[in-house]
Amino acid sequence: MNNGRYGDFGGQYIPETLMNEIHKLEEAYEHYSKDPDFIAELDKLNREYANRPSLLYYAEKMTKDLGGAKIYFKREDLNHTGSHKINNVLGQCLLAKKMGKTRIIAETGAGQHGVAAATAAALMDLECEIFMGKEDTVRQALNVYRMELLGAKVHPVTTGTMTLKDAVNEAMRDWSSRVDDTLYVLGSVMGPHPFPMMVRDFQSVISREAREQILEMEGKLPTAVMACVGGGSNAMGMFYNFINDKDVRLIGCEAAGRGVHTGETAATIATGSVGVFHGMKSLFCQNEYGQIAPVYSISAGLDYPGIGPEHAYLHSIGRAEYVPVTDDEAVGAFEYIARTEGIICAVESAHAVAHLMKIAPEMKKDDIIICCLSGRGDKDVAAIARYRGIDLHE
Amino acid sequence: MNRIENAFKNKKAFIAFLTAGDPTFDSSFENIMSAVKAGADLIEIGIPFSDPIAEGVVIQGADLRALKSGMTTDRAFELAKMVRKETEIPLVFMTYLNPVFKYGYDRFFAKCKEIGIDGLICPDMPFEEKDEADAFAKKHGISIISMIAPTSEERIKSIAESAEGFLYIVSSMGVTGVRSEIKTDLASIMESVKKYAKVPAAIGFGVSTTEQADKMARLSDGVIVGSAIVRIIEKFGEKSAPEIYKFVKSMTDAVHSI
């Protein structure tokens, strides 16, 4: 990596107030990512606290039902806190401790990163404040209470569209007022360098395990690996150790909301253009004057107008494919995998499952697909019921 | 002598920030002209951005009002052109990098030159990332104004040495907004700035009273005031011009009497 650039994408487009702190973080990460004690400590946390390695599960019923490629799920939904987000927060919070920080802040959309951050903060005795769009605190009220149970303070963000991008804005504003004791634990492979690299490294455990597991179970590499993409952290984690395996297709599934032509979408690769925002040069949903566009998806975790710079790069060189998946398709897949495999996955992950259901039948029986189930879907049950017009009263 | 140098000549400068299109195109023109008539030495015209991460709630509000009133980069150029017709005061744009990037660096700075804009301030374009825009700014003779923060420390040297136009000294941690007290050790920051800079340095962020303006101007070459002006517009809307005149007059009197 050179100076946080992936081709032309990436960089460090942040206010001067944060520059020295971001350089300190770069140095600290550079040091500790090679420190055997740090690596051993993180490995222990992953095994004994987060429940790693996560299972690589052969979905026999779906394979038979869809009648094409052999389907495997990488079960990040079985991690402690219920999603892949724990992989990143354990790494960043451990780093925060090593840097002598006593407080972390984080943004959250669906609440999965917020819950994970609050969890790691509780474990490591760090003060924790979470920024969450007010709209999302309503959509995901249970997760707000969960974070509070874990000892975090949740700030509902009332600026802009009151969703994930506004939560990031507010976290950046808070960080620029208080760098001495605070690390901003960013939740995805986005933001200024070193975040895209650091978060990718912590998430790459997904593909490191999956690659070993599939070789052991099948004796060969998969035909394709796939994952949902908002900012893109579970996808980067799922792709990373397969990037050099040129024959393995990498497929990212974006949230198309009501459809890429409706204006109510969050599919950045399908509808965005190059821009500079949230500390990085990447692709963003924006208008002709560079104003960031409001985005929409049924999934609060994919409801973000940008995408991590390494994804923008993998897209630009044609190494990874990105496809839009609508709310309707995702909800259909959410229900299908529940009925067929007995797995209630996150509505985010259901975007990847939906595309899997399209491509698996067209593939040969000796093809293998690994799809990342980034999280579990308990948090989404009420929203899915609402989508189907069912009013749940307790 | 260029216009920016002129603003600091033989006096401390008072720099006023106003957002283009806040709350309407016409009233923002009147407000800018009031600040000019009240004796401001340089005007920062904000091109509104949807997600201004370095701004506090007051200027965020201005951005929202302006975008709602239909302000765009092209309309901001029209507004600046009208101001330029009336006065030779130095004008700099203040916006975020994305609107400039999206407009196209070459096209943006060419337009600045054509209209008579003297500089650009982008809070999310730090020293390390300014080269790509700077090449085009230089081509068209527009100054990119660099910022120095309380956390800049050893970065002051490289930023100050290559600074153009003037240096924007950020008085406090955090975002823009009115502050009752400014705690940063600005005297020692100014000392190292002066060691390396060939251009004047003005202090901004948090300044709202004549007492603060006096204090900041004595430490530096000028004072930048944004949120305190925008707060007037927040209160008086399209009828802000006389109030802005009164406020800017009191501030320029304080700064110019040093």
- Given a contact cutoff of 8 angstroms between Cβ atoms, the answer to whether B201 and B195 are in contact is no
How far B66 CA sits from the closest chain A CA (Å)?
Answer: 12
Under 8 Å between Cβ of A192 and A12:
yes
A115 token code pair: 């819950």
Q: Which residues of A touch B128 (CB under 8 A)?
A: 12, 19
Q: For residue A104, which amino acid is it?
A: I
Q: With CB atoms and an 8 Å threshold, state whether B102 touches A159.
A: no
**B41: Cβ–Cβ under 8 A, 6 or more apart, which residues?**
B7, B8, B11, B13, B14, B15, B89, B90, B222, B252
Nearest to A352 by CA among A246, A267, A225, A259: A225
Interface touch A286/B102, C-beta < 8 Å: yes
pLDDT digits over A214-241, tens only? Answer: 999 999 999 999 999 999 999 999 999 9
In chain A, residues with a C-beta closer than 8 Å to the C-beta of B60 are 159
Quick check: A210 pLDDT over 90? yes
Provide the CA B105 distance to its chain's centre, in angstroms.
Answer: 20
Residue B87 lies in a domain: yes
Domain count, chain B: 1
ipTM above 0.90, yes or no: yes
Residue at B214 is within a domain: yes
B7 domain-assigned:
no
Across the interface, whether the CB atoms of B53 and A169 are under 8 A apart is answered yes
| One-letter amino acid of B104 | G
Burial B108-146 (b: 16+ CB within 10 A, else e): bbebbeebbbbbbbbbbbbbbbbeebbebbeebebbbbb
Residue A163: pLDDT band with limits 50, 70, 90: confident
Q: Provide the domain limits for residue B63.
A: 13-256
Residue B1: the pLDDT is 54
Report whether A292 contacts A303 (CB < 8 A).
no
What are the residues facing A250 on neighbouring strands? Answer: A225, A320
Question: Does the structure show a pLDDT above 60 at A394?
Answer: no
Contact yes or no for A21 and B147 at CB 8 A: no
Residue B8 lies in a domain: no
pLDDT at A1: 46
Average pLDDT of the segment spanning A148-167:
94
Q: Which chain A residues touch B159 with a CB distance below 8 Å?
A: 16
Best CA proximity match to A323, nearest among A277, A393, A256 = A256
Low-confidence ranges of chain B (pLDDT < 50): none
- Say which of B53, B102, B147 has its CB closest to residue A275: B102
Q: What is the pTM (predicted TM-score) of this model?
A: 0.97
Number of neighbouring beta carbons within 10 Å of residue A43: 12
Cβ distance of B124 and A279 shorter than 8 Å: yes
CB-based contact B8:B166 (threshold 8 Å): yes
The DSSP line for B168-180 is: EEE-SSSSS---S
Cα–Cα distance, A134 to A161 (Å, whole number): 9
Share of chain A above pLDDT 90, in %: 93
A148 pLDDT tier (thresholds 50, 70, 90): very high
CB contact under 8 A, A20 and B72: no
Strand partners, A182: A103
Neighbour tally for B241: CB within 10 Å: 21
Q: Please report whether residue B57 resides in a domain.
A: yes
B6 in a structural domain: no
Average pLDDT over residues A2-26: 94
Q: Is residue B3 part of a domain?
A: no
Higher pLDDT, A328 or A163: A328
Cβ contacts (< 8 Å) between B123 and chain A: which residues?
A: 15-16
Whether A85 is a known active-site residue: answer: yes
Among A364, A316, A348, residue whose Cα is nearest residue A111: A348
Question: pLDDT per residue over A116-147, tens digit each?
Answer: 999 999 999 999 999 999 988 987 888 999 99
CB of A293 closer than 8 Å to CB of A287: yes
Chain B contact probe: residue of A16, A23, A161 with most B CBs at under 10 A: A16
**Domain CATH for B108:** 3.20.20.70
The closest of A112, A172, A167 to A144, measured between CA atoms, is: A112
Catalytic residue, candidates A107, A129, A254, A329: A107
- Of the ranges A155-164, A317-326, B24-33, which one carries the lowest mean pLDDT score? A155-164
Is residue B24 domain-resident?
A: yes
Nearest to A159 among B60, B97, B102 (CB): B60
